[in-house]
A and B are shown apart, each in its own frame.
Chain A
Amino acid sequence: MKEELIVSGRMNQLVDPHLHIWHWQISIYLFLGGMAAGILAIAALYYIRGREKDYSTAVRITPFLAPLLLIIGLVALFIDLRHKLFFWQLYTNIKLQSPMSWGAWTLMVITPVSFIWCALHIRDIYPRWDWKFSWLKETEVFFNKYKMVLAWVMLIYAIILGIYTGILLSAFNARPLWNTSILGPLFLASGLSAGAAATLLLSKDKAERKQFARIDLVLIGIELFLIIHMFMGFLAGAQVQIEAVNMFLGGEYTMSFWIFVVMLGMILPAVLEIMELKKFHIPVIVPAVLVIIGSLALRFIIVYAGQVSRWLY
């Protein structure tokens, strides 16, 4: 039997709650950033492949959500900072070893790009839009000329952003639950599926909705595969990793993870989408909202559970 007492300092109630350093702000940001990355990646991909006409909602309309999501996410990140007035230090340093530095610079690129993309499609929402100033019109002409380049930049940076939301956590070997590189692709897949769900919600075109229901199905399959893979890796790992994964296999996060993330966020929407594709009449809002809730729940549970998992000594 081993009993550990902390006789001084740490006995103080004010200290240990602070070790749980990341709260809702980070979870919300990881979700919004991932969803924006998914929306932008899908839009850029279909534009590059010349399918703009077939999937016009995904290319022209859904991206209008992305700047909004990114801005709310950035505000959440800013709220999380404790030394707020020094935030500009992120942009006077490039630290290749720090995922957060990568993320800050990626956001610096993808946020303006998402605004430009929306500006180029503003007439799809307001057909009589006028830029008023001639230099704005010239800027639009310029970016329209190089729209393909813009789409490539958007695709690449959206994928980096999607992966980064996971890598941000997996770089911490002090938190064994986060310390798996599968979190990168898992969060990317989850962000893409939330992005596809957004188009599913907004699209009025039947063929497009069908296509995005299919995309969501494939992504849910990939996510399930990655989750199983992650758990297998943990179970075959060191003691701290086994303890970390046991939080989901009988431990305190079992119910919330399997109910909200796997059942409500993946299996149920997948079943509903299959039924929809088999011509049952399902209101499309149900699976789409479930996927988005599942994606949000995944971020919350991983962020909170990760901070519980630790090395014991």
Chain B
Amino acid sequence: MRYAMAVDTRKCVGCSDCVVACQTENKVPIGFCRDWVVEVMDGTYPQLEMEIRSERCNHCENAPCVRCCPTGASHFVEGGIVMVEHSQCIGCGACIASCPYDARYPHPDGYVDKCTFCEHRIKNGLTPACTAVCPTKCLYFGDLDDPNSDVSVVLKKRKYKTLIPEAGTSPQLYFLI
């Protein structure tokens, strides 16, 4: 099993519903977020090109945060999801410094927190909160090993990119272009 997410940068309107849904679902403390929306503008007026990306933890296959964690609090669970075990995390910040996507933040309770692909929801057959709530349906979630999953189907049809693959992390967040 290999969970992944695809984000349609052509369909996303940048409404930030995914951000609010995540904050609500995961009780993210005020002032923090596990996902965020980036708007990239390219070109000179009037020849402009825009890309909108809903970003979060890339659940990298070669995750530097898991590698550098001194206690094993950052770990992989089934499906390649990177999780943080709160009772093992000492809050040293090594994983925050090691993430090229800056996807982690120190929770006010002391441990380090980040996107979990809503592991508690997908265990029950649901999709992550951001995906479920997206009004333009531009987020696709699923198992890459299953050829009929939403994410496998859309990745077969469309061109895509990942963010800084040259950082050697093999990210599992795909951006449709």
Where the two chains meet, the residues of A that have a C-beta atom closer than 8 Å to any C-beta of B are 1-10, 12, 14-15, 18-19, 21-22, 80-84, 86-87, 89-90, 92-93, 95, 97-101, 103-104, 171-175, 238, 307, 310-311, 313
Contact = CB atoms under 8 A, between A and B. Distances in A.
Interface centre among B70, B96, B164 (most CB of A within 10 A): B70
Interface residues of B, number: 50
B64 A8 contact: no
Contacts of A14: 31-32
Interface stretch (B100-108, B119-127, B136-144, B145-153): B100-108
Contacts of B111: 82-83
Given A174-B98, A311-B164, A6 B90 contact: no
A83 B64 contact: no
B113 to A, nearest CB: 11
Contact of B96 (A7, A19, A173): A19
Contact of B92 (A12, A18, A95, A100): A100
B77 interface: no
Contacts of A89: 71, 73, 88-90
Contact of B67 (A2, A19, A98, A175): A98
Contacts of A22: 93, 97
29 contacts: A3-B41, A4-B40, A6-B37, A6-B39, A7-B37, A8-B14, A8-B33, A9-B37, A12-B32, A12-B33, A14-B32, A21-B93, A21-B96, A21-B97, A81-B91, A82-B90, A82-B111, A83-B90, A83-B110, A84-B91, A86-B89, A89-B89, A93-B88, A98-B68, A172-B97, A172-B98, A174-B167, A307-B97, A311-B100
Nearest to B49: A2
Interface of B: 14, 16, 19, 31-33, 35-44, 52, 64, 67-73, 87-94, 96-100, 102, 105-106, 109-112, 163-164, 166-168
B68 A100 contact: yes
Contacts of B99: 174
Contacts of A311: 100, 164, 166-167
Contacts of A95: 69-72
A175 B99 CA distance: 9
B101 to A, nearest CB: 8
A172 B39 contact: no
A172 B68 contact: yes
Contacts of A15: 31-33, 105
A21 B71 contact: no
Contacts of B98: 171-174
Contact of B37 (A8, A90, A173, A174): A8
Contact of B36 (A4, A8, A175): A8
A212 B111 CA distance: 45
Given A19-B102, A174-B64, A8 B97 contact: no
Top 3 nearest A-B pairs (CB, nearest first) are A82-B91, A9-B36, A14-B31
